Amino acid sequence: MKIGVFALQGAFIEHEHMLLSLGAEVTEIRRLEHFSPDFDGIVLPGGESTVQGKLLREEGLMEPLRKAIEGGMPVLATCAGLILLAKQIEGGEKPHLATMNIAVRRNAYGRQLGSFHADVNLKGVGKFPAVFIRAPYVSRVGEGVDVLCEEAGKIVAVRQEKMLALAFHPELTGDARVHEYFLNIIKGEA
């Protein structure tokens, strides 16, 4: 299984380690020539969504990536990646890929709760140790979106067809079940 991991900025190495531990092949995507519509799936890591969005545009990656996702390419998006996928960003910020029927609120937990840990219940996976870092949450979901997880009344994980998006960081936990779930989505087994 060939997975392209966006390595423009943010926490991508940890995703690579998880995927390699599950036997997937990983390619880092930094520039347009690294991107292939033949990947079995892609990962949009956490980091800073405004920076990532800017780099995607500068590298000419935004349109090919959007096309691939609209064409059904499976995506695992975490934190900033979730923001990149959202059709709407609260506060009037311009959306980025805008392929997922959700609205998100950035840095939604305020200063004191900038980062925290919570054991959440993730549909399709089970109880999971979630790490939140200046996380967004999903403020609204539209058609075709399945809510996979809520934490303290906020939606923090969603799925729409083969897009799996989480507000937290499953790659920082040493628990590979979310990545395993993603590989199962790719195989059509989840």
13 is an interface residue for ligand GLN by CB under 6 A: no
State which residue, 113 or 187, has the beta carbon closest to ligand GLN. 113
Catalytic residue list contains 171: yes
Residue 48 among the catalytic residues? no
Catalytic residue among 14, 15, 59, 79: 79
In the complex, the smallest distance separating the C-beta of residue 151 from ligand GLN, rounded to whole angstroms, is 15
Q: Which of 19, 69, 133, 165 binds ligand GLN (CB under 6 A)?
A: 133
- Amino acid found at 22: L
β-sheet bridge partners, residue 149: 157
Contacts with ligand GLN in 84-113 (CB under 6 A)? 106-107
Concerning whether 79 is annotated as a catalytic residue, the answer is: yes
Who contacts 70 (Cβ-Cβ below 8 Å, separation ≥6)?
99
Considering all CA atoms of the chain, what is the largest pairwise distance in Å, rounded to the nearest integer? Answer: 43
Alpha helix (H) ranges present in the chain? 13-21, 49-58, 62-70, 80-85, 177-187
Using only the alpha carbons of the chain, give its radius of gyration: 15
Q: Indicate which single residue of 80, 120, 138, 156 sits in contact with ligand GLN (rule: CB under 6 A).
A: 80
Between residues 52 and 160, which has the closer beta carbon with respect to ligand GLN? Answer: 52
Which of 46, 45, 55, 49 minimizes the C-alpha distance to 6?
Answer: 45
Stretch that binds ligand GLN, among 14-22, 75-83, 140-148, 174-182 (CB under 6 A): 75-83
Please say which residue, 80 or 145, places its beta carbon nearer to ligand GLN: 80
Residue (of 73, 44, 38) closest to 56 by Cα position:
44
Q: Which residues bind ligand GLN (CB under 6 A)?
A: 46-49, 79-80, 83, 106-107, 133-134, 136
